[in-house]
């Protein structure tokens, strides 16, 4: 807590003090570079010395005391540096310094001082020395203090201890920043001339508080001295003994639980001390009270082998375990983002929010505004520290409920979002409120990395491979992780000042903080936290929240589909294309999809990437989706940039009646396009967007089915559909919002469509990150069989092994782990295109009927999806997309398109609502009735819409489309997963054993491409022939009825 008081003074006032000396941001950050340089090289070495310290008073407290001396010197030198300089020999020029009543911080200032010449060189030197001492020692002192806490507590109390450590840190920071926010100039402390300025009052008060906190800690708990030759490291040996006792209590009930444990904890190592070796020396009941007083005989490597020298230490960093390396990388990103906030927040508020200038002349309004901003920022940082304490009260409970991974990643994403909003808002109230997100980040940083390190030591994870790892002490590894703050400061100090000078504003620092925190969240997805989450998974099955996280990407995909189906047809028609040509454009994606998607499914089944089988493909397809969103909305601009003629400038007419703000041109014909390159970029974007949104759903759906048990598949698929419906509904609502009248379009983007596509692009990236970070897949070996959760589960069922519920639920966390001994391992899944098409021709009859039904169903739904907005605009609102710009007919068409977005939002919303009950409907009525009933409902709705053609009917009957879409996203894949489950119970042919779940899901999914391909060949010609889009709705009703007839022949087995 005392260290955080010091941090509060340092982060709040050191930057303003240095800037007030006349330093530029670049020079100031170079000063911040000195402490990290010392810290990176010295702190971990001090950790090694601490692990092997043989002083009688203990191992950790001597280092806390020594480093505290440096903190005290820093607290004295920083606020009094100018005075020391004057005393030792600074010139009388300093007499020109004035101390005005308007100067809220009472920082001494020099008139007309410049960056090149400092009026108080010795004063600046003392201040810099004090800054380095304070910054280095405050950071370095935390490592022995934290190791001291972990040494004297049991592993089961580490989470509680670290959260208490963070609570105290937050309280210290909050009170320290409050001290900075008090108007000391109006108190007796300054009015009686005890101290010269506001800053000196704050630092002196904190100096007294720190000495009290130091004495309290040093006298709190007596450490057992470590004897040089007779005893080993308590942190390793005591924990090893503790884990020995814990292991004696564990009784694995059967072979299945052993298999599960082996898959879940494949990287755990055996205990380094045998049970029988010390069993008589300890009483288990007393260990929780006397663990720090136990004299442990040398059972593992003695201290002679422990790394002492700096050279050996850096060798150990280079060869550190991969689990620790990932924690360190995550910590670097996290600290870089938080250091941006802590070092620049007061300066950011003073300059960017209060519009002040720290180098303005003394007494000026600009300097006064800056100092008022700094003082105001102290309250924001007090809120940040207070929120850190409050969050720390609950973080251990959050870890128990959500798991370490979710809490670690979530804390960083919240902070990233908060900093991004702060950079945009730049308002005093926003700086107060959003400081809470920094508190969450700080609490996360103070708890999670060290909890992971202590758990790695308690479970001997880092002692897995070589004797080198066994020489690592807890204090050393805590110091290594803690030293990442120095690496972060070092990197930032070399570049952040130059970036601020280049940008001309400190806003860039907040933007960098948001970006680095996002990088930290991505890095945290790879952190090995299985050991900590082991007990959590035993208590928690695949809840609806887990399924929502896994399915988040499909919500993002449906946002993209909403933008595509609502606006792509109007965009193409606005280019002057006929309906026939437009449908030929839609033909490109199905051609790609039909030939590539199932093959990618086979590749997914056999993917041996370390990050898993499904997520790499989700990520690759997502790149195409992002590119498609950009190309579709900015195609005309890209065409202009790459060489479309000046004639294209005539296209940028933006008429007030043009509801969609689509650029238009007069007298455009089908044969002569004014922007050919713009049209080309738009078509490429459409092909990318359409293909990748459809293709991405296969690995996303296989990912969901892989990590859930067969009994949860219906629930999982219904959640998948709910998320899809929600995404579509919100996507269409975005399309229906009149963005042309909002600040988003007027200030940031050129028109309505770009606003919609840009917002959806941001939403999709967020959804993608949530899914990719939701559940860690276990990679498969190239020579190992493919064993999904269902395969493992059903194999054990086949062998009639009785398993307790908690243990077979644990399979879900293995994430498709390799199971070489499984008899039906799918090692020979087809890779080549030739074998793949052979497998389609010889697919089981049950799968053929599902595919045929899916073709009819998708043909009917694609008619609605691609033509509904055009149908409403032309057939209901009587508009014309190719009418002259500004005409009432074009305006009517665009109003119809915007109105249709609300109908499609209702369609997606009804899909979500229906999906909430579809698993219950399946349980009550059976899969067959639900499958056929959904298609008949949609067929009736489309037939009625074709006859009525009224705006209200368009909204109401869109609900039937939602029922159809929910059915399509659920039933076929439930059937496929059930077929694969049955193949494990029922011996079929060898041909069936070669089929991977991902391959068959991709085959069924690819029927949407077949449907689009068939429709694109003739639907446009039919529209041109009949002269109305009503024919499309009639065809949708007919195909849906055909799908219902086909569904009667589907093999439903026991579903």
Q: Which residues contact 610 (CB under 8 A, 6 or more apart)?
A: 779
Give pLDDT, residue 424. 86
Residue 462 has pLDDT above 70, yes or no: no
Give dist(CA 29, CA 338) in Å, integer. Answer: 15
Q: What is the dihedral of CA 171, 173, 506, 40, to 10 degrees?
A: -120
Residue 664 φ then ψ, to 5°: -130, 165
Fold of 541-646+673-777: Growth Hormone; Chain: A; (1.20.1250)
Q: Half-sphere exposure of 581 toward its Cβ, with a 13 Å CA cutoff?
A: 15
Give dist(CA 784, CA 780) in Å, integer. Answer: 7
Residue 539 has pLDDT above 50, yes or no: no
- Give pLDDT tens digits for 53-70: 888 888 888 888 998 999
Q: From residue 593, give the alpha-carbon distance in Å to each of 462, 628, 1043.
A: 45, 15, 21
Give dist(CA 582, CA 254) in Å, integer. Answer: 62
Give dist(CA 43, CA 548) in Å, integer. Answer: 43
Contact 177, 382 (CB under 8 A): yes
Q: Record the tokens describing residue 929, joined without a space.
A: 């009735």
pLDDT band, residue 573 (cuts 50/70/90):
confident
- Give pLDDT tens digits for 36-52: 777 666 766 676 677 77
Mean pLDDT over residues 821-832, rounded?
40
CATH of 1-91+118-187+195-222+320-459+474-526, one of 1.20.1440.130, 1.20.1250.20, 3.40.50.2300, 2.10.109.10: 1.20.1250.20
Mean pLDDT over residues 115-127, rounded?
69
The percentage of residues in the chain with a pLDDT greater than 90, rounded to a whole number, is 6
**What number of residues does the chain have?**
1055
Give pLDDT, residue 719. 78
Give dist(CA 595, CA 1013) in Å, integer. Answer: 12
Contact 104, 364 (CB under 8 A): no
- Give pLDDT tens digits for 256-311: 344 443 443 333 333 333 333 333 333 333 333 333 343 434 433 434 444 444 56
Give dist(CA 16, CA 375) in Å, integer. Answer: 11
Q: From residue 786, give the alpha-carbon distance in Å to each of 719, 768, 810, 819, 824.
A: 25, 25, 18, 7, 9
Residue 1041 has pLDDT above 90, yes or no: yes
Give dist(CA 512, CA 323) in Å, integer. Answer: 27
Give pLDDT, residue 226. 66
Determine which of 649-663, 752-766, 859-873 has the lowest per-residue pLDDT on average.
649-663
Give pLDDT, residue 104. 43
pLDDT band, residue 415 (cuts 50/70/90):
very high
Give pLDDT, residue 195. 55
Considering 53-67, 168-182, 186-200, 927-941, the range whose residues carry the highest mean pLDDT is 927-941
Strand partners, 653: 664
Give pLDDT, residue 937. 93
Mean predicted lDDT score pLDDT of the chain: 71
Residue 940 CA to its chain's centroid (Å): 43
Give pLDDT, residue 220. 82
Considering 605-614, 761-770, 899-908, the range whose residues carry the highest mean pLDDT is 761-770
Contact 962, 911 (CB under 8 A): yes
Contact 477, 325 (CB under 8 A): no
Residue 1051 has pLDDT above 70, yes or no: yes
pLDDT band, residue 387 (cuts 50/70/90):
confident
CATH top class, domain 844-1054: mainly alpha
Give pLDDT, residue 941. 93
Q: Record the tokens describing residue 1028, joined without a space.
A: 């109305």
Give pLDDT, residue 1026. 85
Give pLDDT, residue 52. 76
Residue 846 has pLDDT above 60, yes or no: yes
602 or 85: whose pLDDT is higher? Answer: 85
Strand partners, 392: none
Contact 623, 658 (CB under 8 A): no
Residue 666 has pLDDT above 80, yes or no: no
Give dist(CA 150, CA 146) in Å, integer. Answer: 6
Strand partners, 652: 664
Residue 1034 has pLDDT above 90, yes or no: yes
- Give pLDDT tens digits for 763-813: 998 888 888 877 766 666 544 444 454 454 444 444 444 444 444 444 444
Determine which of 141-145, 593-597, 662-666, 844-848 has the lowest per-residue pLDDT on average.
662-666
> Nearest-CA neighbor of 767 among 1032, 989, 552, 931?
552
Contact 460, 300 (CB under 8 A): no
Residue 237 has pLDDT above 50, yes or no: no
The percentage of residues in the chain with a pLDDT greater than 70, rounded to a whole number, is 66
Q: From residue 207, give the alpha-carbon distance in Å to each of 79, 183, 378, 976.
A: 11, 18, 18, 69
Contact 856, 844 (CB under 8 A): no
For CATH 1.20.1250.20, list the domain ranges present in the chain.
1-91+118-187+195-222+320-459+474-526, 541-646+673-777, 844-1054
- Give pLDDT tens digits for 298-307: 433 434 444 4
- Give pLDDT tens digits for 322-366: 778 888 889 899 988 988 887 788 888 888 898 888 777 877 888
- Give pLDDT tens digits for 959-991: 998 889 888 878 887 888 777 766 533 444 444
- Cα end-to-end distance, the chain, whole Å: 61
530 or 487: whose pLDDT is higher? Answer: 487
DSSP, collapsed to helix, strand or coil, labels residue 819 as coil
Give pLDDT, residue 811. 41
Give pLDDT, residue 516. 92
Considering 10-19, 103-112, 610-619, 978-987, the range whose residues carry the highest mean pLDDT is 610-619
Q: Record the tokens describing residue 215, joined without a space.
A: 């004495």
Give pLDDT, residue 939. 94
Burial class (CB in 10 A: 0-12, 13-18, 19+), 228: exposed
Question: What is the residue-wise DSSP string for 219-266?
Answer: TT-PPPPPPTTT---HHHHHHHHHHHHHHHT----SHHHHHHHHHHTT
CB atoms within 10 A of CB 1010: 18
Mean pLDDT over residues 814-839, rounded?
45
């Amino acid at each position: 807590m005392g260290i955080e008081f010091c941090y509060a003074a340092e982060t709040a006032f050191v930057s303003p003090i240095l800037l007030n000396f006349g330093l530029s941001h670049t020079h100031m950050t170079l000063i911040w570079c000195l402490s990290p340089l010392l810290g990176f090289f010295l702190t971990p070495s001090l950790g090694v010395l601490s692990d092997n310290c043989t002083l009688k008073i203990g191992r950790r407290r001597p280092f806390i005391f020594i480093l505290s001396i440096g903190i005290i010197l820093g607290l004295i030198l920083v606020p009094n540096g100018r005075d020391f300089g004057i005393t030792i020999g600074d010139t009388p020029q300093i007499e020109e310094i004035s101390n005005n009543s308007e100067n809220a911080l009472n920082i001494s200032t020099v008139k007309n001082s410049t960056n090149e010449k400092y009026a108080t060189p010795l004063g600046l030197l003392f201040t810099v020395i004090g800054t380095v001492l304070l910054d280095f020692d405050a950071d370095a002192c935390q490592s022995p203090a934290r190791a001291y806490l972990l040494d004297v507590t049991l592993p089961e109390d580490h989470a509680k201890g670290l959260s208490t450590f963070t609570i105290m840190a937050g309280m210290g920071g909050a009170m320290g920043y409050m001290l900075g926010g008090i108007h000391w100039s109006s108190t007796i402390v300054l009015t009686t001339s005890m101290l010269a300025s506001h800053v000196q009052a704050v630092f002196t008060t904190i100096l007294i508080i720190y000495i009290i906190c130091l004495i309290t800690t040093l006298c709190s708990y007596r450490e057992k001295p470590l004897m040089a030759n007779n005893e080993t490291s308590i942190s390793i040996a005591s924990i090893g003994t503790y884990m020995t006792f814990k292991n004696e209590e564990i009784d694995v009930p059967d072979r299945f639980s052993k298999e599960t444990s082996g898959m879940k904890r494949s990287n755990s190592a055996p205990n380094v001390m045998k049970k029988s070796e010390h069993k008589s020396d300890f009483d288990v009941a007393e260990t929780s009270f006397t663990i720090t007083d136990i004299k442990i005989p040398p059972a593992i490597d003695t201290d002679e082998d422990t790394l002492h020298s700096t050279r050996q230490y850096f060798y150990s960093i280079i060869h550190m375990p991969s689990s620790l390396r990932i924690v360190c990388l995550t910590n670097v990103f996290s600290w870089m983002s938080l250091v941006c906030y802590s070092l620049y927040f007061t300066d950011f508020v003073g300059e960017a929010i209060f519009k002040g200038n720290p180098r303005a002349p003394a007494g000026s309004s600009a300097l006064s505004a800056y100092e008022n901003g700094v003082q105001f920022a102290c309250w924001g940082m007090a809120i940040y520290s207070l929120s850190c304490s409050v969050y720390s009260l609950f973080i251990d409970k959050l870890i128990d409920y959500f798991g370490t991974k979710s809490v670690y990643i979530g804390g960083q994403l919240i902070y990233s979002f908060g900093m991004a909003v702060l950079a945009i808002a730049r308002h005093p109230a926003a700086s107060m409120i959003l400081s809470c997100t920094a508190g969450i980040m700080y609490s996360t940083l103070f708890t999670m990395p060290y909890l992971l390190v202590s758990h790695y030591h308690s479970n001997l994870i880092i002692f897995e491979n070589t004797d080198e790892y066994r020489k690592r002490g807890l204090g050393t590894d805590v110091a290594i992780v803690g030293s990442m703050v120095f690496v972060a400061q070092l990197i930032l100090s070399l570049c952040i000042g130059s970036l601020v000078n280049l940008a001309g504003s400190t806003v860039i620092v907040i933007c960098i903080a948001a970006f680095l925190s996002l990088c930290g969240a991505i890095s945290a997805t790879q952190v090995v936290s299985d050991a900590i989450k082991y007990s959590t998974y035993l208590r928690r099955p695949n809840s609806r929240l887990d399924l929502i996280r896994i399915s988040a990407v499909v919500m993002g995909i449906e946002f993209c589909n909403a933008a595509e189906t609502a606006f792509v047809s109007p965009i193409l028609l606005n280019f002057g294309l006929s309906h026939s040509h437009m449908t030929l454009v839609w033909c490109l994606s199905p051609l790609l999809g039909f030939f590539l998607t199932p093959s990618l499914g086979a590749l997914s089944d056999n993917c041996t990437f370390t990050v898993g089988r499904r997520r790499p493909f989700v990520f690759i397809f997502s790149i195409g989706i992002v590119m498609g969103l950009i190309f579709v909305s900015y195609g005309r601009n890209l065409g202009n940039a790459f060489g479309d003629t000046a004639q294209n400038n005539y296209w940028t007419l933006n008429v007030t009646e043009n509801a969609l703000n689509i650029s238009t041109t007069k007298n455009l014909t089908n044969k002569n396009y004014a922007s050919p390159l713009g049209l080309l970029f738009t078509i490429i974007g459409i092909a990318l967007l359409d293909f990748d949104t459809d293709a991405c759903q296969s690995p996303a759906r296989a990912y969901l089915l892989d990590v859930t048990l067969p009994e949860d598949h219906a629930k999982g698929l219904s959640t998948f559909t709910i998320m899809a419906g929600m995404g579509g509904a919100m996507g269409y609502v975005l399309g229906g919002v009149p963005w042309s009248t909002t600040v988003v379009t007027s200030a940031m983007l050129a028109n309505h469509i770009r606003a919609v596509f840009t917002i959806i692009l941001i939403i999709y990236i967020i959804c993608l990150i949530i899914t990719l970070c939701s559940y860690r897949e276990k990679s498969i070996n190239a020579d190992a069989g493919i064993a999904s959760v269902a395969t493992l589960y059903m194999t054990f069922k086949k062998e009639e092994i009785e398993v307790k519920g908690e243990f077979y639920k644990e399979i879900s966390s293995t994430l498709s782990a390799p199971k070489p001994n499984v008899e039906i391992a799918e090692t020979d899944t087809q890779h080549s295109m030739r074998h793949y098409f052979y497998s389609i021709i010889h697919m089981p009859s049950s799968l053929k009927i599902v595919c045929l039904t899916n073709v009819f169903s998708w043909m009917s739904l694609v008619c609605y999806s691609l033509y509904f907005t055009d149908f409403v605009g032309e057939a209901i609102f009587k508009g014309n997309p190719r009418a002259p710009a500004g005409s009432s007919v074009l305006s009517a068409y665009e109003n119809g398109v915007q109105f249709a977005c609300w109908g499609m939002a209702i369609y997606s919303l009804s899909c979500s609502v229906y999906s909430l009950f579809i698993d219950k409907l399946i349980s009550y009525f059976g899969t067959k009735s639900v499958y056929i009933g959904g298609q008949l409902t949609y067929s009736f709705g489309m037939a009625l819409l074709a006859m009525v053609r009224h705006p209200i009917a368009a909204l109401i009957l869109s609900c039937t489309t939602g029922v159809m879409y929910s059915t399509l996203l659920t039933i076929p894949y439930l059937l496929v997963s059930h077929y694969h489950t049955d193949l494990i119970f029922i011996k079929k042919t060898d041909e069936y054993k070669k089929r991977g779940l991902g391959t068959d899901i991709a085959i069924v999914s690819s029927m949407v491409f077949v449907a689009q391909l068939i429709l694109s060949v003739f639907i446009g010609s039919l529209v041109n022939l009949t002269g109305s889009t009503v024919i499309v709705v009639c065809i949708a009703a007919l195909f849906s009825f055909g799908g219902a007839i086909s569904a009667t022949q589907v093999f439903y087995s026991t579903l």
